Structure 1
Amino acid sequence: MPTRRHLAAGGLASAVLLLAVSAGCGTVPDAQGSTGGQSPAPTTSQPTTSPSPSATPTTPAVKLSSNVDDGDDGVKVSTLVTAKASQGKLSAVDLDYKYTDTKGKAQKGTLKGSMNKAKTSWTAGDRLEPSGTYTLTVTGKNSAGDKTTQKTKFETQDLALSNQVFPELYPLPDSKVGVGMPAIVRFDTPVADKKSFEKNLHITTVPKQTGSWHWYGSQEVHWRPKSYWKPGTKVKVEADVNGVPAGNGRYGQKSSSTNFTVGRKFVIKVNLKSDYATVYKNDKKVRSIPVTGGKPGWVTRSGTKLIMAKEYNKVMTNEQIGAKEKYKLTAAYAMRITNSGEFLHSAPWSTGSQGVANVSHGCTGMSVANSRYLIENTLIGDPVVTTGTNRGIEPGNGYTDWNASYSEYKKGSAL
């Protein structure tokens, strides 16, 4: 086709030249264009050119983008890095990092992420670390299979340790607990943005049970089911708070998780009017225990408390609770049920009053044999339901989650 175009152009030039020479020899065309001599070939006989076909279009390169820019400094740790492709698909994304952790140890690696089904978008699986250097390498292909690679290097914001919020989770991993035990998350620094944090706290239960988070101040949040756990329930707790804004310039640091299993149902009901405790295992009465509670001025709190810890040969003194009368006693077996110092414990010094009168400084005392039975058969999180006094348990004085109806408890959620 290019050859035809060349010949056509040459033929036209020759015709023009011939006409010019004829005119120069004295032949003048008439009004109709006739020269009176030999007529030139009609112009319609000249070769014509057809439009040349368009060149084959080039497939556009894949376009790559991300939510961070090359050379960025001070990128917030709350950022979830994303990468996108248009006019093609992503084929590989790597987010490499290096930083120094809070213990002064150098850390480096690659942050994993996930790609959507269409392979047009990638999202990092975690937020960022403070004072870190990150390199995002994104590779994509267009429909013709041509590769394009884009590298983005950036640095994250510096954060003082006081602006990093660390979580602690209870119960400890693989624990076996009582039917009343809440999932507990404690923070070493106050959380102002409770809503953001709570959105990143997750509970998984098998079998599934309805429940709610409830904040006790700004550094502790609990989750309890609507009613006591079903025996045998398996629970997983996840605090995905790394990089989450905590408010006031603070951010979560380190995500954490724990898991626990709920044991049999074991409930202790203490009646301080009759001065007897009744023990139920799987809703069947298994023991009746004579007890003594707090005397006037040291009245034992009524309400639902939970076994928090078990201690052996617990030394108890008047200084510990601010009592004027001096004493120093050792309880062979003691089970803590409040932060303020209430225990179920062995009290051989008050055996004569057990089942008869309340003579303690607030604890629930019993014989050595009965306290030994309880410490050997209880789990952390077993309910102790005390009645018969006019003094109630203060919210947060121990694991007090069961002293509110479920509807009231839910009001303690930030969501």
Structure 2
Amino acid sequence: MTPFGARHGRRTAVAIAALLTSAALAGCGQIAHGGSPLPGTHATSGTDAGGTDGSTGGSQPSPKSSPTPDPVTMAANVSDGATGVKVNKVIKVSSHKGTLSSVKVSGHYTDHGKSKSITIDGKLNSAKTGWTASDLLEPNGRYTVTMTGVSDHGAKSTTTSSFTSDELSLDQQIYPSFNGTLSGTVGVGTPVVLTFDRPVKDKATFEKHLHVSSSDHQKGSWHWYSDTEVHWRPANYWKPGTTVTATADLNSIPAGGGEYGQLSTSTSFTVGNSVITKVDLGSDVAKVYENGDLVRTIQVSGGKPGWETRSGTSLITQKAMNYRMTSQMIGLPKKGPQSYDLTVKYALRITNSGEFLHSAPWNAGYFGRENASHGCVGMSEADAGWLYENAPAGSPVVVSGTSRSLDALNGLTDWNVDFDTYAEGSAL
């Protein structure tokens, strides 16, 4: 028979063992028969209560999904699908929550019935959050803006938008030309001459887009002679050796009255030696100064009474050899006592109305004594040949000693007034 004390001890040990087993099972996520965890425990799903490091601490909360980063947004200052956009619109692109890596504006437009492709360049700002086009739009065009950027979190994306520009007829477009400007190596008086095929109403806006630069940075001014012609000259004669560039950045610039510049254009020239011819028809003597020094004195004969040579400062605009001169060119009849038909070996034009410095051996008896021509300044072939070889087009010719004055635009007359008076012709 087992003593009572021994039986009691064994029952106690069994009970303790059962309790420990039950606690261990509950600690592994088992639920007691009543459906609730045992006191002092927490239910988890698929995770050790003590954590993955085997500790016996409390359970970890379930991880939450990270929010999706905001993408970069990009937009042009012209809405997608816009029509009739003014050609002087400067396209701009901006970004938000990121930067721009590239912007491309491309498309095609119709010019004189032909389709032409076009790409507009531009520049990013220092922060790469903005882009500005370097050129304006062409009329009658269809454009696509392709914008590529990177978000603040490094995600790259591309956005596009399209629009069409204003439709303009040729009558609404003004064509600029530097064809009246002398080219190559020219004289010290050479002005920049810009003409237009239609009248310019808004001269001030146009003039703001006209530029002249020179290697000597000489001061000068524009002068509007009419609605279709504007010139630029320096305050003083060009310095020999100067290089000059003129630009008319007028493509799509408003000219007033709903018209715009049709294109941008430029020209350039180099200034040669200073050759200035001073003709005194009171004494019938011409003196030629090269780079400031008197280098030649020439006996001449100018226009006779009724045909006086015009006094003033003009420029040599044309040089020709074996040039035919007829009486009809100056309004005289083909036949009669004052008619003539002559071939001039050396001719240097100084006015549009037909005045030249030229060789005139048939008038040799009048040189240095009397004015006997129909307005030209005649001289020997040797002297005319020397001028032809040494005076580039654009060289000043200053005529004095007659009562007939030189009128504006009768040739290149930009130096016939002082600079302050000339500058008053600017629209700015």
TM-score w.r.t. the length of structure 2 is 0.81
1:248 is displaced (CA, Å) by 2.1
Residue type of the alignment partner of 2:193: I
Distance 2:163 2:427 in 1: 34
Distance 1:108 1:294 in 2: 58
Q: Select the residue among 108, 122, 131 that pairs with 1:113.
A: 122
Distance 1:79 1:342 in 2: 48
Q: Conserved in 1, the CA contact under 8 Å of 2:181 and 2:191?
A: no
- Indicate whether 1:404 and 2:417 are aligned: yes
Distance 2:110 2:257 in 1: 24
Q: Select the residue among 359, 364, 368 that pairs with 2:377.
A: 364
User: Partner of 1:78 in structure 2?
Assistant: 88
User: Partner of 1:46 in structure 2?
Assistant: none
Identity across matched positions, percent = 51
CA distances 1:8-57 after superposition (whole Å, capped 9, x unpaired) = xxxxxx9xxxxxxxxxxxxxxxxxxxxxxxxxxxxxxxxxxxx9999856
User: Partner of 2:42 in structure 1?
Assistant: none
Q: Conserved in 2, the CA contact under 8 Å of 1:316 and 1:329?
A: yes
User: Partner of 2:99 in structure 1?
Assistant: 89
From the superposition, tell whether residues 172 and 299 of structure 1 become closer, same or farther in structure 2 (CA, over 3 Å): closer
Give SS of 1:216's match.
strand
Give SS of 1:408's match.
helix
1:110 is displaced (CA, Å) by 2.0
Give SS of 1:73's match.
strand
1:139 is displaced (CA, Å) by 1.8
Q: Select the residue among 132, 147, 161 that pairs with 1:123.
A: 132
User: Partner of 1:98 in structure 2?
Assistant: 108
CA distances 1:187-213 after superposition (whole Å, capped 9, x unpaired) = 122211111111111111112111111
From the superposition, tell whether residues 52 and 383 of structure 1 become closer, same or farther in structure 2 (CA, over 3 Å): farther
Q: Conserved in 2, the CA contact under 8 Å of 1:171 and 1:259?
A: no
1:72 is displaced (CA, Å) by 1.7
Unaligned runs of 5+ in 1: 1-6, 8-13, 15-50
Q: Conserved in 2, the CA contact under 8 Å of 1:127 and 1:242?
A: yes
1:163 is displaced (CA, Å) by 2.1
Distance 2:179 2:394 in 1: 11
Distance 1:167 1:214 in 2: 16
TM-score w.r.t. the length of structure 1 is 0.83
From the superposition, tell whether residues 80 and 183 of structure 1 become closer, same or farther in structure 2 (CA, over 3 Å): same
Distance 1:98 1:197 in 2: 26
From the superposition, tell whether residues 165 and 321 of structure 1 become closer, same or farther in structure 2 (CA, over 3 Å): same
Q: Conserved in 1, the CA contact under 8 Å of 2:206 and 2:253?
A: yes
Distance 1:265 1:86 in 2: 60
User: Partner of 1:389 in structure 2?
Assistant: 402
Distance 1:145 1:345 in 2: 77
CA distances 1:143-178 after superposition (whole Å, capped 9, x unpaired) = 112234321211122222222212211576961111
Q: Select the residue among 337, 340, 343 that pairs with 1:327.
A: 340
User: Partner of 1:293 in structure 2?
Assistant: 302
Distance 1:362 1:99 in 2: 52
Give SS of 1:176's match.
strand
1:382 is displaced (CA, Å) by 0.4
1:365 is displaced (CA, Å) by 1.2
- Indicate whether 1:280 and 2:289 are aligned: yes
1:112 is displaced (CA, Å) by 1.3
Unaligned runs of 5+ in 2: 1-28, 30-35, 37-60
Q: Conserved in 1, the CA contact under 8 Å of 2:212 and 2:247?
A: yes
Distance 1:226 1:407 in 2: 8
Q: Conserved in 2, the CA contact under 8 Å of 1:170 and 1:183?
A: no
Q: Conserved in 2, the CA contact under 8 Å of 1:205 and 1:233?
A: yes
From the superposition, tell whether residues 113 and 68 of structure 1 become closer, same or farther in structure 2 (CA, over 3 Å): same
CA distances 1:251-280 after superposition (whole Å, capped 9, x unpaired) = 111211111111111110100001011111
From the superposition, tell whether residues 53 and 210 of structure 1 become closer, same or farther in structure 2 (CA, over 3 Å): farther
